[in-house]
Structure 1
Amino acid sequence: MFQTQWHLWLQHTFDAGWMLSVMQFISLLGYEMAYTALILVCAFGARLRAGLCVMLAVLLMACATHAIKQSAALPRPSDVDAAVLDKGEPSHPFVVDGGGHTFWSLPDAQATTMLRAQPHADYGFNSGHVGITTAAGVALLLAFGIRRRWLRWTLVLGWPVLMAISRMYLGRHFLADVLAGWLLGIGIGALAWQLMPGLRGERRWQLPALLCLGVALAWASLCTPLVPLGEASRLLALGLLVAWMQWRGWPADPQGVVQRVLRVLAVVVVYLLARPVVGWLADTIPLPDAPVTELLWHTVGTLLILGGGVTLARWIPRGA
Structure 2
Amino acid sequence: MNPIIDVQNLTASFKDKKGKTFIRVVNDVSFQVQEEEIFGLLGPNGAGKSSIIRMICGLLIPKSGGIFIKGISYQKRMESLKYISTVLEGNRNLYWRMTVKENISYFAGNRGIQFKEIKDQADEWLRLFGLEEKKSELVGNLSRGMQQKVAITVALCLNTKVILLDEPTLGLDVKTTNELKKILTKIRNEFKKTIIISTHDMKLVEEICDRVVIIDRGKKIVEDTVEKLMELFQIKTYAMSVKGGEISEKKLNRIVRQFPEFSYDSTSGLYRVDISNTTSFYAFIELLKKEKVYIDSIEPDRLDFEKIFTILCERNQVDAVHVQE
TM-score (structure 1 length as normaliser): 0.26
Q: Which structure carries more helix by proportion?
A: 1
Instruction: Specify the structure having the higher radius of gyration (Cα).
Output: 2
TM-score (structure 2 length as normaliser): 0.25
